Amino acid sequence: MPATYPADSVGLVEPQRAVFPAPLALECGRTLSGFELVYETYGTLNAAASNAVLVCHALSGTHHAAGYHSPDDRKPGWWEACIGPGKPLDTDRFFVVCCNNLGGCHGSTGPTSTNPQTGEPYGPDFPMVTVRDWVASQARLADHLGIERWAAVVGGSLGGMQALQWAMDLPDRIAHAVAIAAAPRLSAQNIAFNEVARQAIRSDPEFHDGRYQSRGVIPRRGLMLARMLGHITYLSEAAMREKFGRELRRGKDDYDFHYEVEFEVESYLRYQGESFVERFDANTYLLMTKALDYFDPAAAHGGSLARALASATARFLVLSFTSDWRFPPSRSREIVRALLETYKPVTYGEIEADHGHDAFLMPVPQYLQVFRTYMQRVAAEVAA
């Protein structure tokens, strides 16, 4: 509970809401008659509107990327490590924007919103959204904010995929694309993990074909399992070993021979699962995992990522982490290779870090340094 906020934090922030009444045609073939996005901004947009950076969130992220919502907040936004005065996304120089994605459950139009046609929550009737749809919806937000062109679009994991999609779909509106711990498309193993998570949710008897909200219940067990599983893939084996090892809980020094929590790692996972249920919607989780599965820009170009990226004019920063086994460095190198094949300017950094996929959220010194240096160059261009 910071009475005052840390000097390198953006401090107190307030979410805003933008309403887009025009229809949005989605990749799945359906059309949303209109939508709303909840977003936050940090820093000040300059007169030329040339210093704006869009931060795209990952699977379970929100618009609350930095700062605090109240002095009582125990935790700052999810990317506090990277957003703030003097940080890589330096709010003294950039105007940073982060929105809750379409289909989300933190205020933007999504499955928990009221379907204007029925007066009921959309639930499972909310259309499937894709990374391309997110880019299109974020472009409306850019219009709304008077931003013709982003100095950079930046994201980790699924957020990095959005940065790539921006570079492909709207090349005139993005100067730099920063894709951190991302992949050009999911592997069969990635899809398999997502499928188990979805089955966990959809087979929960409280799921009710996605209409749990109108029944006043939550597919709690399924969502908890999905999150527990997700967490395993976010952490490296080494990080888990360091964090928990085979430590038994509560200073116990022998086995109980029962099924209650015995190992610290079990306790951690159950806690993560239980707390997730309180703040995330199951239908949104399903949507987000499908958006991940569907992301495959090369598919429309005969499998060539280079051809998919041919339209891009942005410069690229690609970063990966050595212990990330969800989207390992080899996946980032696929992106780099495709960019080099078509002579795109790309900077690539492979960061030595033990934290696994989650490293992109953490204050890993080498990571912050590379990211900061790159963004300082972007800031210099903006100022020039």
Residues 283-312 interacting with its own copies (rule: CB under 8 A): 286, 290, 293-294, 296
Q: Which is nearer to its own copies, 33 or 203 (CB)?
A: 203
Closest CA to 66 of 328, 350, 361, 312: 361
| Residue span binding its own copies (CB under 8 A) among the ranges 44-52, 94-102, 186-194, 333-341 | 186-194
Residue 107 DSSP symbol: S
Integer Cα distance of 359 and 82 in angstroms:
12
357 catalytic per annotation? yes
- Catalytic option among 50, 137, 157, 332: 157
- Binding flag, residue 262, its own copies (CB under 8 A): yes
Write down the least CB distance from residue 182 to its own copies, Å.
16
Greatest C-alpha distance within the chain: 67
| Count of residues that bind its own copies according to CB under 8 A | 54
Site string for its own copies, 83-122 (x = CB under 8 A): ----------------------------------------
- Binding flag, residue 196, its own copies (CB under 8 A): yes
Cβ–Cβ under 8 Å, residues 299 and 306: no
Of all helices (H) and strands (E), which one includes residue 200? helix 188-202
Integer Cα distance of 194 and 288 in angstroms:
10
Of all helices (H) and strands (E), which one includes residue 73? none
Closest CA to 121 of 233, 188, 208: 208
Q: Which of 270, 307, 337, 372 binds its own copies (CB under 8 A)?
A: 270
- Binding flag, residue 2, its own copies (CB under 8 A): no
| Residue span binding its own copies (CB under 8 A) among the ranges 75-83, 141-149, 158-166, 230-238 | 230-238
- Binding flag, residue 343, its own copies (CB under 8 A): no
- Known binding residue 227? Answer is yes
Residues 6+ apart with CB under 8 A from 217: 206, 208
106 catalytic per annotation? no
- Binding flag, residue 140, its own copies (CB under 8 A): no
Could you tell me how many residues make up the chain? 384
- Binding flag, residue 59, its own copies (CB under 8 A): no
Tokens for 155, please give them: 């994201």
What is the residue-wise DSSP string for 108-147? Answer: SSSTTSB-TTTSSB-GGGSPP--HHHHHHHHHHHHHHHT-
143 catalytic per annotation? no
Starting at the edge strand that comes first in sequence, how are the strands of the sheet with 152-156 ordered? 16-20, 35-42, 95-99, 52-56, 152-156, 176-180, 315-321, 346-351
- Binding flag, residue 244, its own copies (CB under 8 A): yes
Tokens for 298, please give them: 């090369």
- Known binding residue 254? Answer is no
At position 370, the amino acid (one-letter code) is V
Q: Which of 192, 252, 275, 383 binds its own copies (CB under 8 A)?
A: 192
Q: Which is nearer to its own copies, 225 or 339 (CB)?
A: 225
Catalytic residues: 157, 324, 357
Residues that bind its own copies (CB under 8 A): 27-29, 127-128, 185-189, 191-193, 195-196, 198-200, 202-205, 221, 224-225, 228-229, 231-232, 235, 237, 240-241, 243-246, 255, 257-259, 262-263, 265-266, 269-270, 273, 286, 290, 293-294, 296, 325
